[in-house]
Chain A
Amino acid sequence: MSEASHLTHEDRHRALVERLTANVQPIRRIWPVGVRLGLWMVLEACVLAWVSAHTTNHFQEKLTQPAYAIEIVSFAAAAIISAALALRSAIPGRSLPASETALAAVLVLAGAMLVSVAEPMNTANRLGDFVRQGLPCAYSTGMFAVLPWLGLWWAVRRGTPMRSGLPGVLIGGAALSFSFAMMRVACPSDEPLHLLTWHLLPALILTVFSGLAGMVWLKLRSPSRDPA
């Protein structure tokens, strides 16, 4: 029998407390969710400013069309709500209200519906042209999401995510909803099939990948299990 097996709960508790107490050092408290969300939105604004300055799309004129404006606002709002939820999911004891999650989903759905019905769908395009015009947009959708994704990932990583995969989905959802909104500013095409195939679909696929990355990452970051 080892000596350790004779220890009582009290003995173990004392040893554990002394061990932890010996390692106490001042730590920098995590910034409040509102502050981190604000910084993330500043980052978004910088990306938006860059996109606005470099696009050939006359988006200022299009903003007078209600459907176009609502689409952009819906996706941008969904991005902000998802980001707030992602940040909250990394703070133990902070709840993720179902109403906010549902609101983000509804906003994305409403935006996608508007995209589908606002303009007539052009199915007469040749496949080669459709792909040639679409691939750069799919690439840009991913690229516009990189900075917001990394920024949010870092901000969530500073916390202690408690649920597997969910923070990853929320981070991906936020970055890619935002990216979709940016693409509505950057891309001159308003054709629904193009937008659904080359803007929305890549965003959804990358959100799923982000969720998977979150699952792996969360597994490593769980407070109870260190990376081996």
Chain B
Amino acid sequence: MNKLDNAERRRRSRVRAQLMERVQQGDADACRALLDDIGPSLTYFLRRRVADPHELEDVYQEVFMAIFKARHTYEPKRPFEPWLFAIARNIAADYARRRWSRARWEELVAEPPDQPAESSNTAAPELKTVLAKLPSDQREAFSMLKLDGLSLEAAAVRAGISVGALKVRAHRAYRALRRLIGE
């Protein structure tokens, strides 16, 4: 039984390697077949690392995009899975780091100050208030990139726009925020 599993695993690995080779040659059908094939394995792999189902979706998207972006680094003579899961592991670790820093930031924001600010003129305006002044598309771009910690590509997919358009929105949001905070 175990021998059979191993043989099946090896066969599957060979098929994936062949599909990846065809993806490198620009074969769209092979790309679709490969991404469909690795989907369940990746979901299983990421579920053990990302507890929140919504965040799991974001990380899953990021892994797919990273695989696509790094496809030129795959060497067909080598097994496919170590390459695939090294990328997935890296993205999951990156996500964990971002999550940790976001949690720290939220802790800092949630903690009420011991003393009210003496002068409201010198105190920085609350982020929420300032964000409310931004147009909704800019606010969304800023929140996804800076508060939710999404990558440009994942945020662009979520907003349903191109990465370039998202960059423009984010840039405008930063500029507006700088102006508003400087007021």
- Does B112 make an interface contact (CB < 8 A)? no
Bound together, the chains give a CA A24 to CA B24 distance in angstroms of: 8
Q: How far is the CB of A174 from chain B (nearest CB, A)?
A: 20
The residue of chain A having its C-beta at the shortest distance from the C-beta of B71 within the complex is: A27
Residues of the A chain whose Cβ atoms lie less than 8 Å from the Cβ of B95? 224
**Would you give the 0/1 interface string for B28-56, flagging 1 where the beta carbon is closer than 8 Å to chain A?**
10011001100100010000000000000
Interface-central residue, A18, A21, A92, by most chain B CB under 10 Å: A92
Q: Which of B42-89 contact A (CB under 8 A)?
A: 43, 57, 60-62, 64-66, 68-75, 78, 82-87
- Does A91 make an interface contact (CB < 8 A)? yes
Stretch of B9-17, B102-110, B120-128, B149-157 at the chain-chain interface: B149-157
Given the known interface contacts A12-B61, A25-B26, A160-B73, the answer about A226 and B152 at a Cβ–Cβ threshold of 8 Å is yes
Q: How far is the CB of B33 from chain A (nearest CB, A)?
A: 10
Q: Which residues of B contact A (CB under 8 A)?
A: 23-28, 31-32, 35-36, 39, 43, 57, 60-62, 64-66, 68-75, 78, 82-87, 90-91, 94-95, 145, 151-153, 157-158, 160, 163, 167, 170
Task: Please name 13 further chain A to chain B contacts, defined as beta carbons within 8 Å, in addition to the given A92-B82, A162-B86, sorted by A numbering.
Answer: A12-B60, A12-B61, A16-B61, A18-B32, A20-B31, A20-B68, A24-B28, A30-B72, A93-B86, A160-B66, A223-B70, A223-B91, A225-B151
Q: Which residues of A contact B (CB under 8 A)?
A: 4, 9, 12-13, 16-30, 32, 90-93, 158-160, 162, 222-226, 228
Q: Are A24 and B69 in contact (CB under 8 A)?
A: no
User: Which single member of B32, B65, B70, B163 contacts A21 (CB below 8 Å)?
Assistant: B32
User: Which single member of B26, B35, B72, B151 contacts A20 (CB below 8 Å)?
Assistant: B35
Q: Are A24 and B23 in contact (CB under 8 A)?
A: yes
Residues of the A chain whose Cβ atoms lie less than 8 Å from the Cβ of B57? 9, 12
Q: Are B87 and A223 in contact (CB under 8 A)?
A: yes
Q: How far is the CB of A79 from chain B (nearest CB, A)?
A: 24
The residue of chain A having its C-beta at the shortest distance from the C-beta of B56 within the complex is: A9
